Amino acid sequence: MTSGERESLQRELEDARRHAAQLQEKLNGIEQSPGWRAITAYRNFLKKGRVVAPVIDGVARLGIRLFSSKREPKTIAAPEPVIEITPSPEPPAPKGILLHCLDPGFMGRVFYCRDGKRHWLRSREHIACYDPGLDSVALVDDPELRKYELAAPLPLPWSDEVWRNPVRRDPSTVREISTSQNRGSGIEFGAGTSPMAVPLGCEVKYADYFAEGDLESRAYQKQGTDFVRLSYVMGMEDMSAIPDESLDFVNACHVIEHLRNPLRAFEQVHRKLKPGGRFVLVVPDMRRTFDCHRAMTTLEHLLEDYHDPSTARDRPHYTEFFSKVYNVPDVLLEARVDTAIANNEDLHFHTWTYESFGAMVDYIRREMFPWQSVWSETYVEEQAGWHEFYFVLEK
């Protein structure tokens, strides 16, 4: 036998010994298993009961196969893929606070207070757009709330596409869209307790024909008592306190109908706006207001007011207003008109429909002041409470 053959046999012997050791280890494991012990005990029991050996051996062999045979590993379904959930980032720290006062003068509004000013927010959707970290409203008293100056409400961030194709959901929405293109600094006339919403970056000053104390004494109950702070006591017909071409926008909501000389207001605003500035107008349609029984103001009448202004024409306006709107009897009408004129009572001096106002604007652009573009929207007929239309003129 060669040395190579001896080495080969030696390796086979070592392999056999290792295999025998593995078998012995396996047998020891079987004999120590609960199953084997149960089978052994059952076999001894059956022997005592004189059960024939073949049966005993068959049961034993079955037990051995069950407990000693190499079991195939169970097929384990692949685990479901683990979806890593990235925790939502913590909302940013609030930049302001939400305050509410139960005093009815604030008309139940919730205000977003920031940088010394408070802005009325129409909905939780509005709050989320400006300060998503806010989730609670603090209840405060009147003096605490008035520490913050009343400023313009904040609109939703309407896109240029919405400007081109407005969402006519309700009057407040279209008002927001009408001012959504405003930028820079400007003036709002006649805001009272309900200033128009403008983008947060805008700087708005407020003006009115009546001084603050006079405004409050003339206010009706639904207006509340929370008036904007006036920077100017003036009307749109005389804006001499404002430098020419200094404003980026002028807003006037339900104001133009109160003016004795509306065309003069168009002239003044055009002069005070910078090139590209905007004149935003919200106007009641006479067909859907208490003016519905009055005569519509003609362009000829407006031109007469512009070229030959006269307080003598006030009387016919007051007479028509009190007779058609308040139904004052003829025997009392003259005295009522005298009182109104003496007290300079406010009223709708002029009346328009959406169509007649548009015709007036067309004439103004063509014959008087060269506004470069006009945007307009009207009410939704099916919404009974919607009584206004909207014009934005760009210089």
The overall longest dimension of the chain from CA atoms, in Å, is 151
Please give the pLDDT value at position 3. 60
Assess contact for 241 and 357: CB atoms under 8 A: no
Comparing 63 with 189, the larger pLDDT belongs to 189
Q: What span, in angstroms and rounded, lies between the C-alpha atoms of 325 and 49?
A: 119
Please give the pLDDT value at position 128. 87
Strand, helix or coil at 122?
Answer: coil
Structure tokens at 380: 């939704």
- Going by pLDDT thresholds of 50, 70 and 90, the confidence category of residue 130 is confident
User: Is residue 273 over pLDDT 90?
Assistant: yes
Average pLDDT, the chain: 85
pLDDT above 90 coverage of the chain, percent: 66
pLDDT tens digits for 90-106? 556 678 999 999 999 99
Please give the pLDDT value at position 201. 87
Average pLDDT over residues 111-134: 89
Structure tokens at 83: 């979806």
pLDDT tens digits for 371-382? 999 999 999 999
**What is the edge-to-edge ordering of all strands in the sheet holding 247-253?**
232-233, 203-208, 185-189, 247-253, 273-284, 388-394, 373-377
Average pLDDT over residues 179-187: 97
Q: What span, in angstroms and rounded, lies between the C-alpha atoms of 139 and 321?
A: 43
User: Is residue 72 over pLDDT 90?
Assistant: no
Please give the pLDDT value at position 135. 79
Pairing of strands 373-377, 388-394: antiparallel
Structure tokens at 280: 């935003």
Handedness of CA 205, 206, 209, 215 (dihedral sign): negative
Please give the pLDDT value at position 218. 82
Q: Which one, of 155, 136, 53, 141, lies nearest residue 105 by Cα?
A: 141
User: Is residue 110 over pLDDT 50?
Assistant: yes
Q: What span, in angstroms and rounded, lies between the C-alpha atoms of 210 and 231?
A: 12
Count Cα neighbours of 221 within 13 Å in the Cβ-side half-sphere: 1
Please give the pLDDT value at position 35. 54
Please give the pLDDT value at position 55. 45
Q: What span, in angstroms and rounded, lies between the C-alpha atoms of 131 and 96?
A: 7
Structure tokens at 260: 């004795």
Distances (CA, A) of 307 to 77, 262, 263, 299: 91, 11, 9, 12
- Listed in sequence order, the residues at least 6 apart from 311 whose beta carbon sits closer than 8 Å to its beta carbon are 260
What does 247-283 look like in DSSP terms, one character per residue?
Answer: EEEEEEES-GGG-S-HHHHHHHHHHHEEEEEEEEEEE
- Going by pLDDT thresholds of 50, 70 and 90, the confidence category of residue 59 is very low
Strand, helix or coil at 46?
Answer: helix
Average pLDDT over residues 179-192: 97
- Going by pLDDT thresholds of 50, 70 and 90, the confidence category of residue 223 is confident
